[in-house]
């Protein structure tokens, strides 16, 4: 049997943003307009109108913004969310009978056809709408009906307009009926959801450091000594200070310096071997201080405009209280021992992974949520999650949704250097930001291909990158061999390609000695020993880091990600890219020499439209690093960059 009363005629498909047919939420930030689009069409040639309907957290009524036909049955528009949290949106479309009638009437009148019946049809159409508009607008509609039905009178010259047609095409009449449309046969898409985050979810400079290394070579640092480092970090322009685990560290199977299996009494162990007799995931390492000292650290950071990020690592030392209190949360081997962490051939005897297939799933999930809630209650709103891809996907979807429903300003950074689809799945499940493959993308073709994937595909609707230039685990060969120029190059790329980026302390001192040739591990890794630093040591790029962060904060174009455009440079060692501000308040063009050993010259072939430059018009480029200015004319321009002097131009385009 055919469906009854199916009079809408309209099909709505290819709605964007949309992730996996609405299974997951797309992401946006509250400071931006959310772009929305859909393919909308119907049988026959009638005119269509469409809107995006949306409502934010706690709202009971829908708000609307119009969608505009941009070609090939595609309608696009957007809305600007005013709050953070979960939004709902859908597309509604309807046939605009009045616009269709006006269009056809105009064509027939222009062709000098008899339009007597058409005028009566229009009069009846308008007449039927009188009671649907406000009382103050009804007189205009009645007058229009009367004019459409007025006698034509004696025919005048061929070029004299018919008064009835003029009345039909009156813009005031159109404005009323457009503002108060007839939607009785409207079609509405499915309802989709969108996560609206605060600005820090997209834009921020992160700095990772170990509080325990803020003492001396032999004296453990504390939160009080760590507080003294915060002004230095803030002065460099960072927004987030990320701390590795701050919990008690186990002694069983403790690793020694450089990850040796045999530890001495003086070895302090890895912070990721969480738990001892002093407590577990909600305890503070006694050598760092007390929970009150931690609160003081958070407060000191806030006064400097810094947010504190904590590492959330779901793993335990053999000495963790959970091991004896909840042995069912761990994998028991045939000999009665507990399975320790492995990444064959690597073994981590000092760490027990948690078993998410435990028979006590409810107890485990509740406990882990409680850990996060504990630190949230102490002012932490940002969490870097260690290896989330080795934990239950269902758990992440549940816990992030539960916590963000209560605290929508929370941010979760996924540290998952794993397969692309797994990384993307974690982002879909709710992670706010994600580590990426940026560290291993060093050639121009690698960077261009990877950034195009992240910015120009559907991935951009749910995946937010955080480009860490180095980590305690990753010292790339490029940094090992390239010296200070390499550190400058990678800093500019990380900070300007991605709205969120980070460095691990020591980067500004150009620390680049690996554990051994071919290794990405640091020699004398801070993961296993105290590593106090002399921050005035040479060489360093402290001023350079400060300069780049200052540029980021002063130029709104750099807060965006999908506004990235690559420009052609005729040398493989030179990469050029730009970002334009959505508000039209400036475009940034970066040109970087990727060769840290030798100067490179190239001719740029610029996309002038992307730069906001009119063809044939000269334009000025101001180098924000060197504070120099050049006048360019046309798309082809010459650059020469010596990495020993300055490996990058960061130009502000002035037209």
Q: Which residue among the candidates 208, 367, 415, 508 is catalytic per the annotation?
A: 415
Give yes or no for a contact between 502 and 238, defined as CB atoms under 8 angstroms apart.
no
Q: Whole-angstrom Cα distance, residue 384 to residue 642?
A: 37
186 backbone φψ class: left, alpha, beta (φ>0; ψ -120 to 50): beta
Q: Which tokens is 177 given?
A: 């009926």
b/e sequence 616-650, b meaning 16+ C-beta within 10 Å: eeebebebbbeeeeeebeebebebebebeebbbbb
**CA-CA distance, 86 to 588, in Å (whole number)?**
32
State how beta strands 48-55 and 74-79 pair. Answer: unpaired
φ, ψ (nearest 5 deg) of residue 205: -105, 125
Of 307, 311, 319, 386, which one is the catalytic site residue?
Answer: 386
**Burial label, 369 (beta-carbon count in 10 A; 0-12, 13-18, 19+):** middle
Phi/psi at 464 (nearest 5 deg)? -110, 120
Q: In terms of DSSP bridges, do strands 187-188 and 204-208 run parallel, antiparallel, or are they unpaired? A: unpaired
Q: Is 386 a catalytic residue?
A: yes
| C-alpha torsion 503→505→507→513, nearest 10 | -130
Selection from 498, 639, 487, 477 nearest residue 573 by Cα? 639
d(CA 642, CA 28): 39
Question: Cα separations (Å) of 262 from 251, 271, 422, 526?
Answer: 11, 17, 35, 17
Instruction: Say how far apart CA 354 and CA 527 lie, in whole Å.
Output: 21
The Cα-based distances of 153 to 59, 110, 149, 150, 503 in angstroms read 56, 19, 12, 9, 82
Contact 581, 587 (CB under 8 A): yes
The pair phi, psi for residue 477, each rounded to 5°, is: -55, -35
Token reading at 223: 């939160």
- Under DSSP, is residue 358 helix (H, G, I), strand (E, B) or coil? coil
345: preceding bond cis by omega (within 30 degrees): yes
Return the active site residues. 386, 415
């Amino acid at each position: 049997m055919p469906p009854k009363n199916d009079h809408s005629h309209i099909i709505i498909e290819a709605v964007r943003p949309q992730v996996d047919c609405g299974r997951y939420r797309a992401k946006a930030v509250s400071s931006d307009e959310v772009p929305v689009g859909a393919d909308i069409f119907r049988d026959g040639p009638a005119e269509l109108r469409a809107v995006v309907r949306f409502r934010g957290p706690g709202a009971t009524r829908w708000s609307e913004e119009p969608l505009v036909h941009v070609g090939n049955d595609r309608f696009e528009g957007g809305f600007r969310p005013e709050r953070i949290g979960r939004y709902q949106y859908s597309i509604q479309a309807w046939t605009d009978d009045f616009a269709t009638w006006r269009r056809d009437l105009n064509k027939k009148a222009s062709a000098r056809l008899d339009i007597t019946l058409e005028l009566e049809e229009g009069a009846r159409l308008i007449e039927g709408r009188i009671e649907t508009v406000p009382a103050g607008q009804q007189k205009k509609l009645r007058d229009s009906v009367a004019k459409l039905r007025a006698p034509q009178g004696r025919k005048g010259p061929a070029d004299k307009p018919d008064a009835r047609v003029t009345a039909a095409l009156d813009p005031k009449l159109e404005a009323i009926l457009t503002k108060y449309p007839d939607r009785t046969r409207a079609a509405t898409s499915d309802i989709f959801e969108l996560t609206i985050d605060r600005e820090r979810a997209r834009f921020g400079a992160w700095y990772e450091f170990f509080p325990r290394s803020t003492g001396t070579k032999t004296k453990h640092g504390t939160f009080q000594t760590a507080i003294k480092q915060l002004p230095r970090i803030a002065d460099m322009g960072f927004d987030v200070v990320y701390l590795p685990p701050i919990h008690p560290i186990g002694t069983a199977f403790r690793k020694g310096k450089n990850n040796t299996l045999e530890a001495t009494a003086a070895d302090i162990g890895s912070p990721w071997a969480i738990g001892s007799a002093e407590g577990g995931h909600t305890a503070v390492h006694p050598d760092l201080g007390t929970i009150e000292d931690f609160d003081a650290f958070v407060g000191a950071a806030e006064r400097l405009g810094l947010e504190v990020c904590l590492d959330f690592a779901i793993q335990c030392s053999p000495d963790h209280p959970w091991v004896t209190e909840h042995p069912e949360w761990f994998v028991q081997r045939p000999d009665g021992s507990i399975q320790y962490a492995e990444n064959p051939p690597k073994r981590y005897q000092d760490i027990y992974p948690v078993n998410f297939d435990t028979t006590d799933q409810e107890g485990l999930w509740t406990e882990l949520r409680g850990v996060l809630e504990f630190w949230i209650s102490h002012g932490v709103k940002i969490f870097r999650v260690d290896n989330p891809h080795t934990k239950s996907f269902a758990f992440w979807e549940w816990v992030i949704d539960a916590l963000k429903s209560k605290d929508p300003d929370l941010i979760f950074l996924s540290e998952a250097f794993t397969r692309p689809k797994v990384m993307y799945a974690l982002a879909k499940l709710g992670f706010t930001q994600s580590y990426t493959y940026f560290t291993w993308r060093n050639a121009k073709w690698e960077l261009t291909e990877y950034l195009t994937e992240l910015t120009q595909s559907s991935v951009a609707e749910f995946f937010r990158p955080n480009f860490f230039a180095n980590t305690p685990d990753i010292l790339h060969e490029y940094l090992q061999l390239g010296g200070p120029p390499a550190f400058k190059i990678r800093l500019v790329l990380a900070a300007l390609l991605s709205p969120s980026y980070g460095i691990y302390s020591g980067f500004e001192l150009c620390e680049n000695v690996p554990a051994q040739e071919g290794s990405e591990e640091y020699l004398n890794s801070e993961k296993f020993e105290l590593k106090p630093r002399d921050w005035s040591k040479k060489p360093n790029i402290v001023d350079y880091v400060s300069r780049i962060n200052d540029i980021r904060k002063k130029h709104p174009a750099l807060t965006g990600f999908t506004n990235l455009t690559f420009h052609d440079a005729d040398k493989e060692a030179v990469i050029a890219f730009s970002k334009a501000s959505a508000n039209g308040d400036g475009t940034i063009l970066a040109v970087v020499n990727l060769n840290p050993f030798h100067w490179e010259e190239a001719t740029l072939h610029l996309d002038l439209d992307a730069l906001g430059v009119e063809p044939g018009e000269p334009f000025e480029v101001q180098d924000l690093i060197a504070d120099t200015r050049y006048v360019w004319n046309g798309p082809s321009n010459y650059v020469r960059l010596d990495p020993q002097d300055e490996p990058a131009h960061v130009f502000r385009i002035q037209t």
